[in-house]
Structure 1
Amino acid sequence: MFDLGRSFIASVARDPDAIAIVDGDLRLSYRQWYGKISSLVEAFDRIGLKPGDHLVTALQNRWEAATIHWACQFAGIVITPVNWRVKADELDFCIENSESCAVAYQDVSAEAVAQSKLAQSLRRISLDGDADASVANKTFSFSSMIAAEAADALPRVSAEAWSIMLYTSGTTSKPKGVPRRHRTERAAAVAHLAQNLYGRGERTLGVMPLYHTMGVRSLLAMSLIGGTFVCLPRYDPRQALQLIAAEKISNLYLVPTLYHDLVYHADFAGSDVSSVRKLGFAGASMTDGLLKKLDQAFRPELFVNHYGSSEVYTFAIDQNAVAKPGSAGRAGINQHIRVVELNAGSVSDVAATDEEGEIIAHLSSDEAFEGYWRRPEADAKALREGWYFTGDTGFMDRDGDLFVTGRVDDMIITGGENVSPVEVESCLSLHDAVGEVAVVGLPDERWGKIVVAFVKRSAQVTERELEQFCQASGLANFKRPRRFVFVDALPKSPVGKLLRRLLVTGDYEPESAPPGAA
Structure 2
Amino acid sequence: MLSIFDRGAFAPCPTPFNFTAHVLARADDAPDKIALAVLSQTGSERWSYGRLKSAVLGTGTGLLARGFKPGDILLMRLGNTVDFPLAYLGAIAVGLVPVPTSSMLTAPEVQKMVDQLSPAGILHDPAVACPETTLPTVSSAELTAMRDLPPADYAMGDPNRLAYIIYTSGTSGQPRAVMHAHRAIWARQMMHEGWYGLGVDDRLLHAGAFNWTFTLGTGLMDPWSVGATALIPAEGVPLDALPLLLRRHDATIFAAAPGVYRKILSHHAKLDLPKLRHGLAAGEKLSDTIRQHWAEATGGKLIFEAYGMSECSTFISAGPANPALPGTLGRPQTGRKIAIVDEEGPVECGKDGTIAVHRSDQGLMLGYYGAPEDTAARFQGDWFLTGDHAEMSEAGDITFHGRVDDMMNAGGYRVSPLEVEAALLPHPRIREIGVTDIEIKEDAAIIAAFYTSDAEIPQEELTAYADSRLARYKQPRAWVRIDAMPTNPNGKLSRKALKPLFPRR
Which whole-Å CA distance do the structure 2 matches of 1:511 and 1:107 have between them?
42
Choose from 21, 38, 53 the match for 1:6: 21
Partner of residue 36, structure 2 = 21
Choose from 325, 343, 362 the match for 1:366: 362
Count of matched residue pairs: 415
Partner of residue 150, structure 2 = 151
Gaps of 5+ in 1: 131-140, 412-420, 423-439, 441-451, 459-491, 513-518
Which whole-Å CA distance do the structure 2 matches of 1:256 and 1:454 have between them?
14
Partner of residue 255, structure 2 = 253
Which whole-Å CA distance do the structure 1 matches of 2:247 and 2:282 have between them?
23
The CA deviation string for residues 323-370 of structure 1, in whole angstroms up to 9 with x for no partner, is 6333122211231111123xx1x3x2x334433221111010121112
Partner of residue 202, structure 2 = 202
CA contact (8 A) 1:61 1:232 kept: no
Which whole-Å CA distance do the structure 1 matches of 2:77 and 2:477 have between them?
22
Give the secondary structure class of the aligned counterpart of 2:262: helix
Which whole-Å CA distance do the structure 1 matches of 2:329 and 2:368 have between them?
26
Give the secondary structure class of the aligned counterpart of 2:325: coil
- What letter matches 1:364 in structure 2? S
CA contact (8 A) 1:178 1:310 kept: yes
Which whole-Å CA distance do the structure 2 matches of 1:55 and 1:175 have between them?
18
Which whole-Å CA distance do the structure 1 matches of 2:292 and 2:471 have between them?
24
Alignment of 1:376-415 (within 5 A): 376-397=372-393, 399-410=395-406
Partner of residue 82, structure 1 = 101
Partner of residue 125, structure 2 = 106
CA contact (8 A) 1:283 1:497 kept: no
Give the secondary structure class of the aligned counterpart of 1:360: strand
Higher relative contact order (CA 8 A, sep 6+): 2
Partner of residue 221, structure 1 = 222
User: Once the 2 structures are TM-superposed, how far is the Cα of residue 181 of structure 1 from its aligned partner?
Assistant: 1.1
CA contact (8 A) 2:162 2:180 kept: yes
Give the secondary structure class of the aligned counterpart of 1:12: coil
Distance change (3 Å), C-alpha of 1:315 and 1:26: closer
* Greater displacement, 4-13 / 78-87: 4-13
- What letter matches 2:255 in structure 1? Y
**TM-score, structure 1 as length reference:** 0.72
The CA deviation string for residues 470-515 of structure 1, in whole angstroms up to 9 with x for no partner, is xxxxxxxxxxxxxxxxxxxxxx997899999999757999677xxx
Partner of residue 428, structure 1 = none
Give the secondary structure class of the aligned counterpart of 1:333: coil
CA contact (8 A) 2:55 2:146 kept: no
Which whole-Å CA distance do the structure 2 matches of 1:395 and 1:457 have between them?
25
Partner of residue 425, structure 2 = none
The CA deviation string for residues 150-185 of structure 1, in whole angstroms up to 9 with x for no partner, is 333320232333221111124542111111111122
- What letter matches 1:68 in structure 2? A
Alignment of 1:11-90 (within 5 A): 11-24=26-39, 25-90=44-109
Distance change (3 Å), C-alpha of 1:60 and 1:336: same
Partner of residue 312, structure 1 = 312
User: Once the 2 structures are TM-superposed, how far is the Cα of residue 98 of structure 1 from its aligned partner?
Assistant: 2.1
User: Once the 2 structures are TM-superposed, how far is the Cα of residue 457 of structure 1 from its aligned partner?
Assistant: 6.7
**TM-score, structure 2 as length reference:** 0.73
The CA deviation string for residues 25-72 of structure 1, in whole angstroms up to 9 with x for no partner, is 321101012222232122112211121111111334421111112211
Which whole-Å CA distance do the structure 2 matches of 1:162 and 1:97 have between them?
17
User: Once the 2 structures are TM-superposed, how far is the Cα of residue 256 of structure 1 from its aligned partner?
Assistant: 1.1
CA contact (8 A) 2:318 2:324 kept: no
- What letter matches 2:291 in structure 1? L
Distance change (3 Å), C-alpha of 1:206 and 1:69: farther
Which whole-Å CA distance do the structure 2 matches of 1:54 and 1:366 have between them?
22
The answer to whether 1:92 aligns with 2:119 is no
What percent of counterpart residues are identical?
A: 22
- What letter matches 1:180 in structure 2? H
Gaps of 5+ in 2: 1-13, 410-416, 418-436, 444-469, 479-493
Distance change (3 Å), C-alpha of 1:26 and 1:405: same
Which whole-Å CA distance do the structure 2 matches of 1:295 and 1:280 have between them?
13
